[in-house]
Amino acid sequence: MKQAVMLVTGGSRGIGAAVAQTAAAQGYAVCINYVNNQAAADALVQSIQQAGGRAIAVRADVAVEADILRMFATVDQELGVITALVNNAGILEHQTRVDEMSAERINRVLLTNITGSFLCAREAVRRMSTRHGGQGGAIVNLSSMAAKLGGPGEYVDYAASKGAIDAFTIGLAKEVAAEGIRVNAVRPGLIYTEIHASGGEAGRVDRLKDAVPMKRGGTAQEVANAVLWLLSAEASYATGTFIDVSGGR
């Protein structure tokens, strides 16, 4: 049998890295996409290869269509036809209110988080869909509990982008369900990753964890486990659905 091939956008650290590492351990050939942190991506590839897995790292900015096209062409050439896409790449900006946001900031967030996910999914569907001669596959989008909570006073733009990902997940799932492709999403809650430092508060999870019913933050591995289940044959009748990995928040 041909080896399953996965592309993980934003795969060099945090949730993306946990997904890539777990997928490789389960037998996937993995493309780890990154935009800035080449050292982390290369180290992850080396770790997977040393464990007997197959992986490559590809630099591409998902906000740039030409980069996405080049990345998918590289996967085609070096790993084979993609069977699993994890739309994980996403950004947020420093915590602020909506009345202090610039158009440039909002557009940066929406372009990466929404348009990037759309374009990566488009390229995956073109390869997976039986309508295009493909053999099927699965897509998991990384949403966020912010889509439900709104991110007031901090990241309303980020939350809005994740609300769009929820709608995108439902619509695409229905669009390609008869073409051999399942599309689902995971909504992480307060997870210990470096993204909080990008927003200006590295200790955000510890500040807010007492508001979580389980009284703790989550780990990237706990999110990765949900992603891999949705991609697996065990989830064969699940499409257009969501798993909240949020400790009950």
Question: What's the CA gap between 221 and 236, in Å, rounded?
Answer: 22
Residues found in the chain = 249
What 3-state class would DSSP assign to 8?
A: strand
Helix then strand then coil, % of the chain, to nearest 5: 50, 15, 35
Burial per residue of 176-208, b for 16 or more beta-carbon CB atoms within 10 angstroms, e otherwise? beeeebbbbbbbbbbbbbebbeebeeeebbeee
Three-point CA angle 148, 149, 152, nearest 5°:
140
Return the SS3 of 151: coil
Q: Which of 28, 158, 192, 237 is the catalytic position?
A: 158
Q: Which helix (H) or strand (E) holds 244?
A: strand 242-245
Inter-helix orientation angle 116-128/156-176, to 10°: 20
Q: Which among 152, 120, 149 has a CA at the least distance from the CA of 137?
A: 120
DSSP reduced 3-state for 229: helix
Is 158 annotated as catalytic?
Answer: yes
Residues serving a catalytic function are 158
